[in-house]
Structure 1
Amino acid sequence: MSLLSRLSWAALFALVGADSYKEPFRPQYHFSPAKNWINDPNGLVFHKDKYHMFYQYNPTGNVWGNISWGHAVSDDLLHWSELPIALDAFQAPSGPLTELYFSGSAVVDSGRSSGFGNKGQTPLVAVYTSLYTQDMTLPSNQTVRNGQQSQSIAYSLDDGLTWSEYEGNPVILGPPSAYSDQYQNFRDPFVFWYAAGQHWVMVVSLAQEHRILLYKSSDLKEWTITGDFGSVNAVSGAWECPGLFPLPVDGNDHDIKWVLMVGINPGAVAIPQGSGTQYFIGTFDGSNFTADPGTILSSPVPAHYTVYEDWNKTSFAASSWTPTGDFVGEGPEGGTVLTLWGKSKGDGDGDIGSLTSSNFTITSKYVQFQIGCCSNPAIVGAYGTPQDIETTINLLVSGEVVRSTTGVSGGGITWRSWDVSDLVGQTASIRLIDSSSGGWGHLQVGEIVFTDSPLPQEANWVDWGPDFYAATSWNGLADETRIAIGWMNNWAYGTDIPTSPWRSAMSIPRKLELKNVQGKTQLVQQPQPRLSPLEQGKPLQQRFWKNMSPGNITLPLSVKSVDAELTFHAGKNPKETGISLRQGSDGAAIRVGYDFATAQMFVDRSAETQDVSFSNLFPGIYYAPLSADHDGMVKLRILLDWSSVEVFGGLGESAITAQIFRPDSDLAVSVFSTGDAHSVSLKLYPVGSVW
């Protein structure tokens, strides 16, 4: 009998120390560690009826650092027990903290192809990125450089409790020679068994090249490159954490497609300065992934627009822009991108000032513009103070900033859009501000145009919210079953969220499927664990309104966590319909709803009343495309926890995940409609704690 079977999970949990799990903002049915920092889920594997989840972990604090592999296990994807650290950076074979254990995957080597099995035991094999922190010669006699990322393996012979690193590590020292300069950006291997070819497959990211490399192996030790994929769709930031797996379309085993998931940071849909996950649908032949033509999207560029500014002038005055600070007496250098360098062009980050356009009347629904570096958002009330370090493009009406967008540090220039349909007819101006004199301290702005057409979609997003990243799926399940989980945080502010003694949590696990929705094959997802063990069956509220007019209906209950199902149809004058959660006495709340005019569901956390000074990128409204079904019904499934909300629209073809940090006193719930809706049905189920 193995050590894992002899020790109870409760005893193992006690080894790492259980907490009360009642601290402010502590998730009650999402996984979070007892203490310290976590990020990407790693090494997801189902073995002997248990779900193993490893994750990026700092054993010594609740900020990123000393990255090791933490470990938790569950019978039902709801109740998790923490186990001892699996891969500990303080115990690296080459010396403490000389190797950090970055993201990766794990497999059950049931055929014992690796040779690690002992006396018929089935090994678990983890495949991960080793980040080396100094120049050195490894125990395997391979030489690595400071900052090098290589692919390594470790194995367990006691069902995942303890791990031994392969003495021949790394198994892939660096990327192919054509990309040898990318040795510091070669990471996050996802490995699986390809039964048709009887070999192992690895997909691994060349982060800065926006490219996925594919390898194969017979023994998990020797790897041969077979193909690559990229660079398409969202490419303004680094590609990370890839995953590749098959799914039947509409449950048809004779119609199998392959899904490639790829993280991007920065350059995501919800917060361009932050992280998110996109996907591609295509075919895989054991060596190469080929995306279907419909999954490759054109770069988002405006349509049917009027150019307001293209910077093809010799001075700012000729463009009717008023400069201040270091930009007085300067002018654009010509072309379509303006970089706010001042007189000291050799040290442009040190130059500060602003450019303000002449007044104009808003006549179009959208203002769209290209923006590049750098990420320093506006801070309300900081103008004229040392805290004012923004690099932004702002829209002003009556002297007040009504829209503001910052750039992306380390990302390319890309198109962004403001919906100004509610401001049509008003007088406005545009102000470009560079108040930052430090690193990443300038601003790039390209063409500015006016249009009535929204920007086209640039990628197929797994989740349209700000807090779903590094999504990966469990190996070891049946071929037609794919369950994934994501890091419920964002690199734009992840190290600063106001939680202690832990920082970050995981999303709800989600079952992934491919379905034809509105004539298009799409990835759909629904919460996988049945929450019924936590819900006790009977709804808190079950309401039906045949017709709903504009207004708010406050419900007689107070909740911090809930599972809600909301369905409705458009009325004669449909606008927005939805539910307000965690509402305070001042009316501020988390608003979840649907905009009939744009056919989008949304999560609005812009009216947060709690202290969000940790990041001005945190407040916002997040949208996801969602069409009503063939009967005209809109369906929303909403999971509220103490510090998060996850929304699944329709069949699950759209999802939005967002953290929230509401005061404990704000517990009210109301249903709202700004237009007319009918056949409005609401069910609210209480969700208890797993702790």
Structure 2
Amino acid sequence: MVRKTNPRREGDTPGEPPNRNRRTVLQTVGTGFVAATTLPSAKADVSTMDTNAESNSWRPEYHFAPSTGWMNDPNGLIYHDGVYHLFYQAGERRRRWDHATSSDLVTWTERGTKIPDTDSIQAFSGGAVVDSRNTAGFGTDALVALYTGHHDDGTEDQRLAYSTDGGETLRKYENNPVIESDTGEFRDPNPFWYEPDESWRLVVSRVEATDDRPAGIEIYRSPNLLDWTYESTYVDEAGAGWECPSLFERPVEGADETKWVLPVSPIEHRSVEYHIGHFDGTAFVGEEVHSADHGYDFYATQQWGNEPADRDLLLTWMNNWEYAMEGPDPGWRGAMTVPRTLSLEADDNGLAVIQRPAAELACARREPVAELHSEPITPGRDPLDGTELAGRTLEIETTITPQSASTVGLAVRTGPEQESVISYDPTDGTLRFDRSNAGEFFGSNDEDRTVTSVDLPATDALDLRVLIDRCSVEIFAANGRRTMTNLVYPDRESTGVSLFAEDGVARLEELVAYTLSAG
């Protein structure tokens, strides 16, 4: 199997492997069990909430973040009747499923807790489907969610909840669990419909091996979402601790074939990998592994099910378990990336994974704040001087030809003593992101948390699309062939943007920038 584009974090050093059960760092223990519960929906439009100034300094404008409290993995991503449903892990000490919805992937409304924890069982991550054929017997088009029941003794089994009112309420299945277990480290079930034999499949993580099962991604089969039969395991031979799997088929542009994509999140690397290969309904065979993102803050990717536009739409938690519980806490913690599409393309180097922001993001654009063409960049000349390009919520698209410069790039969220720097070295094709002066938290921590880099495909020009949103910088380079996602915590006043070239002359071929607003 071929492994491609591994992320490089400058200053990385080997160390002790992380706690495999990374979601129970601050777990508390209780007793008792409630078999079926529904809670009323508390609704809040996140894009228009009147929160205090401290909270607003870093609260995203066009990324989803909860109005209050903790959030990590996206769960149960499903589209149904014109609505995108986002369930997610909430509760810093005891996990549950909270819920938000959107019609445009930019403006989100919180809907409250839908799968609560109990005194002895937390609701860990999972996926959801629309049961359009009523195979489970809950009703045509019922929303059916599979999730992990994490018991306070560490045991993890797989459970089901369903909704017959479009996600307004979810009821726990009375005969849970649907996949029994007497061990831990077994989580994140994600079901999908397998059209060739018109039945269901499910991928679930066996994070650590047991006496009778290897570590890896287990595949199950079911006619009805209730009765599951084990089929096979895609083995985690390196022992990286995979979790949060999805599995979907995608055509390869430029070739007469399809491939299956299996995203996993290795705990050891705190990242996401796309394993690409073949699936015959029983077993997945991997052929290539691609790093999904080369920043620090990208984990637990999940695909949106039932998506109407025949595209693979993904969402990811924008944080890192290494420091997620240490970061600033202005009353809310956790944000998602922008939804992004994934496509596969055959090129001269084999198979390319292309990721781009969902097209709906363009609806958040306001009038361009800067538009430049064919301008020189030198150590003493920045074409952005004199423009009005500044802000905390921006989209910047640019192409730069390095010419004789040794390094070219873009600095964002700049202030008197702060900046986040995107730089490109044309001699070795390395793109870097440096947040060591990005304000609170990262600037005072270890070097291995501040600088990350990736090699770009051979090119004569640097092509960038950069999304800036108060506490984050997302970079899409080489027309989506490389991405980098990172949190930043600059001061509110750090809003500047600048271009630079070192040791020579570069040429700004074009740049267009927009302010983005979800309102």
TM-score (ref. length: structure 2): 0.85
2:166 alignment partner AA? D
Among candidates 364, 374, 377, match of residue 548 of structure 1: 377
Whether 2:105 is the aligned partner of 1:74: answer no
- For residues 20-419 of structure 1, what are the structure 2 equivalents within 5 Å? 20=51, 23-58=56-91, 64-89=92-117, 96-117=118-139, 121-133=140-152, 146-174=153-181, 183-209=183-209, 210-232=215-237, 235=238, 237-250=240-253, 254-267=256-269, 275-292=270-287, 295=288
Whether 2:391 is the aligned partner of 1:562: answer no
- For residues 396-545 of structure 1, what are the structure 2 equivalents within 5 Å? 460-478=290-308, 480-536=310-366, 538-545=367-374
Larger radius of gyration: 1
Q: State how far apart, in whole Å, the 2-side matches of 1:528 and 1:157 are.
A: 29
Indicate if the aligned counterparts of 2:422 and 2:434 stay in contact, CA closer than 8 A.
Answer: yes
1:72 alignment partner AA? A
Q: State how far apart, in whole Å, the 2-side matches of 1:259 and 1:161 are.
A: 31
1:106 alignment partner AA? A
2:303 alignment partner AA? S
Hey, what does 1:427 align to over in structure 2? none
Q: State how far apart, in whole Å, the 2-side matches of 1:48 and 1:603 are.
A: 40
SS at match of 1:52: strand
Q: State how far apart, in whole Å, the 1-side matches of 2:196 and 2:148 are.
A: 27
Indicate if the aligned counterparts of 1:66 and 1:97 stay in contact, CA closer than 8 A.
Answer: no
SS at match of 2:360: coil
Offset, 1:478: 4.5
Offset, 1:37: 0.1
Q: Give the alignment's Cα RMSD to 1 decimal.
A: 2.3
Offset, 1:48: 0.3
Indicate if the aligned counterparts of 1:523 and 1:653 stay in contact, CA closer than 8 A.
Answer: yes
> CA separation of 1:21/1:55 partners in 2, compared to 1, >3 Å: closer, same or farther?
farther
Q: State how far apart, in whole Å, the 1-side matches of 2:420 and 2:155 are.
A: 43
> CA separation of 1:688/1:608 partners in 2, compared to 1, >3 Å: closer, same or farther?
closer
State which drifts further: 241-250 or 538-547: 538-547
SS at match of 2:516: coil
Whether 2:403 is the aligned partner of 1:575: answer no
Q: State how far apart, in whole Å, the 2-side matches of 1:682 and 1:561 are.
A: 20
Hey, what does 1:335 align to over in structure 2? none
1:485 alignment partner AA? L
Q: State how far apart, in whole Å, the 1-side matches of 2:305 and 2:504 are.
A: 46
SS at match of 2:363: helix
- For residues 608-619 of structure 1, what are the structure 2 equivalents within 5 Å? 608-612=438-442, 615-616=445-446, 619=449
Offset, 1:560: 1.1
Q: State how far apart, in whole Å, the 1-side matches of 2:290 and 2:449 are.
A: 24
1:242 alignment partner AA? P
> CA separation of 1:638/1:249 partners in 2, compared to 1, >3 Å: closer, same or farther?
same
Q: State how far apart, in whole Å, the 1-side matches of 2:375 and 2:58 are.
A: 36
2:284 alignment partner AA? F
Q: State how far apart, in whole Å, the 2-side matches of 1:494 and 1:241 are.
A: 17
Q: State how far apart, in whole Å, the 1-side matches of 2:375 and 2:131 are.
A: 57
SS at match of 1:605: strand
**Aligned residues with identical type, % of pairs:** 32
Gaps of 5+ in 2: 1-40, 210-214
Gaps of 5+ in 1: 1-8, 59-63, 90-95, 134-145, 175-179, 268-274, 296-458
Indicate if the aligned counterparts of 2:105 and 2:360 stay in contact, CA closer than 8 A.
Answer: no
Indicate if the aligned counterparts of 1:84 and 1:161 stay in contact, CA closer than 8 A.
Answer: no
State which drifts further: 508-517 or 123-132: 508-517
CA displacement 1:409-454 (0-9 Å, x = unmatched): xxxxxxxxxxxxxxxxxxxxxxxxxxxxxxxxxxxxxxxxxxxxxx
1:516 alignment partner AA? A
Indicate if the aligned counterparts of 1:602 and 1:656 stay in contact, CA closer than 8 A.
Answer: no
Whether 2:471 is the aligned partner of 1:640: answer no
Q: State how far apart, in whole Å, the 2-side matches of 1:30 and 1:39 are.
A: 14
Hey, what does 2:32 align to over in structure 1? none
CA displacement 1:116-152 (0-9 Å, x = unmatched): 11xxx4211000110011xxxxxxxxxxxx2100011
Q: State how far apart, in whole Å, the 2-side matches of 1:684 and 1:501 are.
A: 35
> CA separation of 1:656/1:161 partners in 2, compared to 1, >3 Å: closer, same or farther?
same
Q: State how far apart, in whole Å, the 2-side matches of 1:657 and 1:517 are.
A: 25
CA displacement 1:252-281 (0-9 Å, x = unmatched): 6x41100011001232xxxxxxx1101111
Q: State how far apart, in whole Å, the 2-side matches of 1:603 and 1:623 are.
A: 6
Q: State how far apart, in whole Å, the 2-side matches of 1:622 and 1:108 are.
A: 39
SS at match of 1:663: coil
SS at match of 1:41: strand
Indicate if the aligned counterparts of 1:607 and 1:619 stay in contact, CA closer than 8 A.
Answer: no
Hey, what does 1:603 align to over in structure 2? 433
Offset, 1:666: 1.6
Indicate if the aligned counterparts of 2:125 and 2:188 stay in contact, CA closer than 8 A.
Answer: yes
1:99 alignment partner AA? I
Indicate if the aligned counterparts of 1:194 and 1:201 stay in contact, CA closer than 8 A.
Answer: yes
SS at match of 2:122: strand
Offset, 1:496: 1.8
SS at match of 1:531: helix
Indicate if the aligned counterparts of 1:541 and 1:682 stay in contact, CA closer than 8 A.
Answer: no
Indicate if the aligned counterparts of 1:509 and 1:529 stay in contact, CA closer than 8 A.
Answer: no
Q: State how far apart, in whole Å, the 1-side matches of 2:234 and 2:381 are.
A: 50
CA displacement 1:375-416 (0-9 Å, x = unmatched): xxxxxxxxxxxxxxxxxxxxxxxxxxxxxxxxxxxxxxxxxx
> CA separation of 1:259/1:544 partners in 2, compared to 1, >3 Å: closer, same or farther?
same
SS at match of 1:27: coil
CA displacement 1:517-553 (0-9 Å, x = unmatched): 44221221100043333222x3211123454334562
SS at match of 2:290: coil
- For residues 653-672 of structure 1, what are the structure 2 equivalents within 5 Å? 653-672=481-500
SS at match of 1:249: strand
2:219 alignment partner AA? L
> CA separation of 1:255/1:478 partners in 2, compared to 1, >3 Å: closer, same or farther?
farther
> CA separation of 1:21/1:250 partners in 2, compared to 1, >3 Å: closer, same or farther?
farther
Offset, 1:594: 1.6
Q: State how far apart, in whole Å, the 1-side matches of 2:396 and 2:478 are.
A: 14
Offset, 1:251: 6.7
Indicate if the aligned counterparts of 1:40 and 1:470 stay in contact, CA closer than 8 A.
Answer: yes
Q: State how far apart, in whole Å, the 1-side matches of 2:154 and 2:45 are.
A: 36
Indicate if the aligned counterparts of 1:628 and 1:650 stay in contact, CA closer than 8 A.
Answer: no
